[in-house]
Structure 1
Amino acid sequence: MSPRDSSRETAEDTRRPVLPPEQQDALRRAVRLEWTTLAVMAVTVAVVGLTTGQSQAMKAAWIEDCLSLLPPIAFLVASRRIRRPSDRDHPYGHHRSIGVAHLVAAVALLVMGTFLVVDSATGLLTAEKPPIGIMVLFGQPLWSGWVMIAVMAASGVAPVVLGRKKIALARTLHDKVLYADADMNKADWSTAVATIVGLVGIGLGLWWLDAVAALVVAASIISDGVKNLRAAVRGLTDARARSYDEKEPHPLTGQVEEHALGVRWVADAAARVRDEGHVFHVELFVVPRPGQDPPAVELAGLRDSVRELDWKLHDVVVALVPEVPGFQAPR
């Protein structure tokens, strides 16, 4: 096999379908869930916006609901771009669209959370007392706060259900944008509870509870923003590949190295794994045993066997080296 033929084969391999059947099915279900989320959140934003009034907590909850539209939109855009094959201008494909979408959603969360903290803190320091009036419903006077409480209680149910469904799909797809969206959805109940506490506080004459509840919601938004911004930047700067929930280094790095060390002609091996979104790019450095000079077909065989370990190992490069790079973390 000539070097040109080998490189052509590798290029064609990287153009294979990115996701196997199970993950393709999971992606289709995730897309449907995100469209459902957009529909549900659009209705929620409209209803909450109509009942917000002068409450700081309701205003914060409404803005958080608006921000909840960003991760689904980012996911849907990225899920279309990753289908494009690699080309000369994009030799690694378009998988990093997932990371870019993650970064956009994280920055938006952080900016709006900071704005809400400043706005809510200003209202608290200036002792701004939000008025909640009376509305007429079916000919009967009704405190508007009861309507707001009912709206908030109802708005927290659907996102929690959708979030739990997305968690399982995020694990199957190794999708950090979907996981971040699911995590936000699951936490929506705390926003609803905090807002309800603020509204009850207004009704009891404890006007400051409304601003405090808004600060709690804003702090939750900032926490989500910081956590996701850290994860997005780590991924885009080629840090060590981690699990979909960012809790630990991904075990595939160690598995790739152990697999390579099991090959008869390999004396030492170290893997450099880059998280491209759903899939990983692997640079496997192998040191041959003394007297061994493996031909190209052996290297191709090792590459193919590594790719068989897991569907996420989409693009694998095997390099013969006299010693493993010194910067590699100890196994």
Structure 2
Amino acid sequence: MTHHLLTGGEHGDRKGASGGGAGGEGSAGSGKGRSFGHTELPEKQRRALRRAIRLQWAWLGTAVVVIGLMSLVVGNSQAMKTSLFEDILSLLPPIAFLVAVRTASRKPTRNFPFGFHRAVAVGHLVAAVALFAMGAYLLVESVLNLVTVEKPSIGTVEVFGTPIWLGWFMMLTMAVTAIAPVVFGRLKLPLAETLHNKVLAADADMNKADWMSSLATVIGVFGIGLGFWWADSAAAGLVSLSIISDGVKNVKGAMSALMDARARTYDDEEPHPLVKEIERTVARQPWALEVRSRVRDEGHVFHAEVFVVPRRGRMPDLGELRRAREACVDLDWKVEDIVIVPVEAIPEEQAP
């Protein structure tokens, strides 16, 4: 890794023990040189990244097959159409993940001195906005169908000369295709935590919850068969609400990351514990009296600014600042850049 230290105009840097990243080669190589910018990934993260990439390609192939099967039986059911749109939208997060991972592997440049880790947040935002917009459109369409009393009709198909109601094929297709996203979601979620990747986490959550939209679609189609014409549009509305919920949650998370909100865990549930660990590590230095930090999430890694009030008569020299920085670097691979700044008083916005 490369880490930076600023001390009242002095600027130093060193290569981490693992060495600098291989840039673009890190995203496409065999694994040994995998990196995010300057951050050389530990073995656990390298394995997780390789597996996540394989899973996303496998999911893209599976999703295309699912979309093809649903297209064959979609008929006039509004619930089926909404579920089909949801499955098409499910292609966005894995594509965003694959593009972001490759982009984030590039080394920082003069124009992008913090590297390209924000590609993760950009991809997250694009997928989230698309989810919300499509969910809102489908919800409006479902409500209009209810208001205008749009009664869907589901015909029959001949199988070996025997007419069979198409609704049975619709429900069977939805039941079968609901299995794959749930399995993929459960496989992706632990990898999202290991890689601290919010796009992968959002994708996993969407996959895990996909069975609910499939169940709603089955109920809607079955309702048509029982003569409840409104059941189809009502089910479509429930599915679209699920899409909107995913979109709102992910737009909020992506916007917070782009606006440099306090670093949080991969699922945005709580402030990341590494923030306090950095402060405690610097506070243990014999010359440190009071410590506060600003830690922002760059996508996979963190950028930290640590403000330290030195003890009276104990202004640290460059060697002491370097040792404090290295102690923070050793905490976790996500500490990409860290700046330690001796100050007379903690900035007002950083005070408790």
Q: TM-score range by the shorter chain?
A: over 0.9
What is the CA-CA distance between 1:7 and the residue it aligns to? 3.2
Q: What secondary structure, in the 3-state scheme, does the structure 1 residue paired with 2:45 have?
A: helix
Alignment partner of 1:48 is 2:54: no
Within-5 A mapping of 1:81-230:
81-230=103-252
Alignment partner of 1:236 is 2:258: yes
Alignment partner of 1:280 is 2:285: no
Check the 8 A contact 1:18/1:314 in 2, yes or no.
no
Match of 1:34 in 2: 56
Q: What secondary structure, in the 3-state scheme, does the structure 1 residue paired with 2:296 have?
A: strand
- Cα deviation code 1:26-50 (max 9, x no counterpart): 0110000000110000111111112
Q: CA RMSD in A?
A: 1.8
Question: Residue type matched to 2:277 in 1?
Answer: Q
Check the 8 A contact 1:274/1:280 in 2, yes or no.
yes
Rounded Cα–Cα distance in structure 2 between residues aligned with 1:268 and 1:214:
56
Question: Residue type matched to 1:303 in 2?
Answer: R
Match of 2:83 in 1: 61
What is the CA-CA distance between 1:300 and the residue it aligns to? 1.3
Rounded Cα–Cα distance in structure 1 between residues aligned with 2:306 and 2:119:
24
Which blocks of at least 5 consecutive residues in structure 2 are unaligned? Answer: 1-6, 22-36
What is the CA-CA distance between 1:16 and the residue it aligns to? 3.5
Change (3 A) 1:239 1:329: farther
- Cα deviation code 1:31-88 (max 9, x no counterpart): 0000011000011111111211110000000000000000000000001001101111
Q: How many pairs align? A: 329
Match of 1:266 in 2: 288
Question: Residue type matched to 2:186 in 1?
Answer: R
Rounded Cα–Cα distance in structure 2 between residues aligned with 1:211 and 1:329:
53
Out of 269, 272, 276, the residue aligned to residue 254 of structure 1 is: 276
Check the 8 A contact 1:135/1:142 in 2, yes or no.
yes
Question: Residue type matched to 2:162 in 1?
Answer: Q
- Cα deviation code 1:187-209 (max 9, x no counterpart): 11001100000000000000100
Question: Residue type matched to 2:190 in 1?
Answer: A
Q: What secondary structure, in the 3-state scheme, does the structure 2 residue paired with 1:327 have?
A: helix
What is the CA-CA distance between 1:17 and the residue it aligns to? 3.1
Out of 2, 9, 12, the residue aligned to residue 14 of structure 2 is: 9
What is the CA-CA distance between 1:183 and the residue it aligns to? 0.2
Q: What secondary structure, in the 3-state scheme, does the structure 1 residue paired with 2:290 have?
A: strand
Rounded Cα–Cα distance in structure 1 between residues aligned with 2:289 and 2:62:
56
Alignment partner of 1:21 is 2:26: no
TM (normalized to structure 1)? 0.96
What is the CA-CA distance between 1:90 and the residue it aligns to? 0.9
Q: What secondary structure, in the 3-state scheme, does the structure 2 residue paired with 1:9 have?
A: strand
Check the 8 A contact 2:192/2:198 in 1, yes or no.
yes
Q: What secondary structure, in the 3-state scheme, does the structure 1 residue paired with 2:14 have?
A: helix
Which blocks of at least 5 consecutive residues in structure 1 are unaligned? Answer: none
Q: Please, which moves more after superposition, 73-82 or 8-17?
A: 8-17
Change (3 A) 1:248 1:329: farther
Rounded Cα–Cα distance in structure 2 between residues aligned with 1:282 and 1:8:
15
Change (3 A) 1:89 1:230: same
Q: What secondary structure, in the 3-state scheme, does the structure 1 residue paired with 2:272 have?
A: coil
Point out the structure with the larger helix share.
1
Rounded Cα–Cα distance in structure 2 between residues aligned with 1:329 and 1:181:
36
Q: What secondary structure, in the 3-state scheme, does the structure 1 residue paired with 2:39 have?
A: coil
What is the CA-CA distance between 1:10 and the residue it aligns to? 7.4
What is the CA-CA distance between 1:225 and the residue it aligns to? 0.2
Rounded Cα–Cα distance in structure 1 between residues aligned with 2:301 and 2:40:
8
Rounded Cα–Cα distance in structure 2 between residues aligned with 1:137 and 1:297:
80
Q: What secondary structure, in the 3-state scheme, does the structure 2 residue paired with 1:290 have?
A: coil
